[in-house]
Structure 1
């Protein structure tokens, strides 16, 4: 019999939790940014090494924002522009 599979996601409090559903977004704990799982910049960073040990996953964008992460400028240009404009105010 197959054991259920679990993923470790980051919650709105920034703490990890087990989920039976994989996350929709990936992030980087040190730079506090989030983006698409297939983001070109993230995949390049993973290929260079060192990035994976700080990688986190989120169920959705609202959770990433609540945890204090910002959108990626590469794969989420519109949310990033909105975030940057809000920071300028």
Structure 2
């Protein structure tokens, strides 16, 4: 069993692993192979705040923004909507 975060921000059990990871404090989500997240995990401390999402739409609905490193195009689109 895996614990994922739903669109309402609440955790739930899932038989399938999440496709995206996020950081609870910064409310950023990205790919599981994101170089930035992997570096943060290697430094330690990051794992305690890690959450997982089934898909990008759920992460956005839960209030998370795309990572500027691994989801560059999605991040730039998000950033453009923030300044509009």
Count of residue correspondences: 84
1:66 aligns with 2:61: yes
The structure with the largest alpha-carbon Rg is 1
* Counterparts of 1:47 and 1:61, CA distance in 2: 24
SS of corresponding position for 1:80? helix
Give the 3-state SS of the residue equivalent to 1:57 in structure 2. Answer: strand
**What does the per-residue CA deviation read over 1:17-70, in whole Å, with 9 as the maximum and x for residues that have no partner?**
000000000000000000000000000000000000000000000000000000
Q: Which runs of structure 1 show a deviation greater than 3 angstroms over 4 or more consecutive aligned residues?
A: none
Root-mean-square deviation (Å): 0.3
Task: Give unpaired runs (5+ residues) of structure 2.
Answer: none
Q: Output the TM-score relative to the length of structure 1.
A: 0.94
> Which residue among 6, 9, 14 is the counterpart of 1:19?
14
Matched, 1:54 2:40: no
Whether 1:88 aligns to 2:83 is yes
Q: TM-score, normalised by structure 2?
A: 0.99
